[in-house]
Amino acid sequence: MKYTWRVAQELMRMIPPLFGSFRKALKETNYEGYDIPKGWQVYWAAYGTHMNDDIFENPHKFDPSRFENPPKIIPPYSYLPFGTGLHYYVGNEFASIETLTIIHNFVKMYEWSQVNPEEVITRQPMPYPSMGLPIKMKPRWFIGFMYGVVGVVCPVEPGA
């Protein structure tokens, strides 16, 4: 399950379950020429942090091994799939276990493939498959033998 967890971590880095959060500026500051007064609401996006190549080498590449032996220590507040501080998602442990269980069962019980391997995934601002990301799922032999199930095509629709 260690590798499965690294896969889950990388998935949450690339597609964070928490898109972002509002924070209050604690002091007046300037960011890239923009003055931000103390007390203003500032929006922080996890995706922008997770895809920063100053923090994660080659951030657009899916690489679960980056969580195995990180070449450099990931700075605090740089990997935040569930937020942090007072805004930390209280159900993160349950969500982590649920994610591991789904990945484990999906891989163990089914052979699957994309119907359209050339499909483009765009960001609008979240990942969005251009053709709905249909997948072909076929139960592995022991599942098919036990339940008499045959392969099916399952279209995955955003928001469905």
pLDDT tens profile 39-62: 999 988 888 889 999 999 999 999
- Do 81 and 21 belong together in one domain? yes
8 A C-beta contact, residue 65 and residue 57? no
> Stretch 66-83: mean pLDDT, rounded?
81
> Stretch 68-84: mean pLDDT, rounded?
81
The predicted-structure confidence for 18-44, as pLDDT tens digits, reads as follows 888 888 999 999 999 999 999 999 988
51 located within any domain? yes
- Of 89, 120, 136, which residue constitutes the final position of a domain? 89
Q: What average pLDDT does the structure give for the chain?
A: 83
- Do 84 and 8 belong together in one domain? yes
Domain that holds residue 10: 2-89
- Do 123 and 77 belong together in one domain? no
- Do 75 and 136 belong together in one domain? no
The predicted-structure confidence for 106-156, as pLDDT tens digits, reads as follows 888 888 888 998 988 887 777 788 888 888 988 886 554 555 555 555 555
- The number of angstroms, rounded, from the C-alpha of 140 to the middle of its chain's C-alpha atoms is 26
103 located within any domain? no
pLDDT of residue 9: 92
**Which among 81, 78, 87 is positioned nearest to 12, based on CA atoms?**
81
Is residue 4 pLDDT above 50, yes or no? yes
Count, residues in the chain: 160
pLDDT of residue 87: 73
- Of 89, 119, 137, which residue constitutes the final position of a domain? 89
- Do 120 and 68 belong together in one domain? no
- Do 41 and 84 belong together in one domain? yes
Residue 69 exposed, middle or buried by CB count within 10 Å (0-12, 13-18, 19+): exposed
**Structural domain total, the chain:** 2
- Of 89, 118, 148, which residue constitutes the final position of a domain? 89
Looking up tokens 């949450």 gives 12
32 located within any domain? yes
148 located within any domain? yes
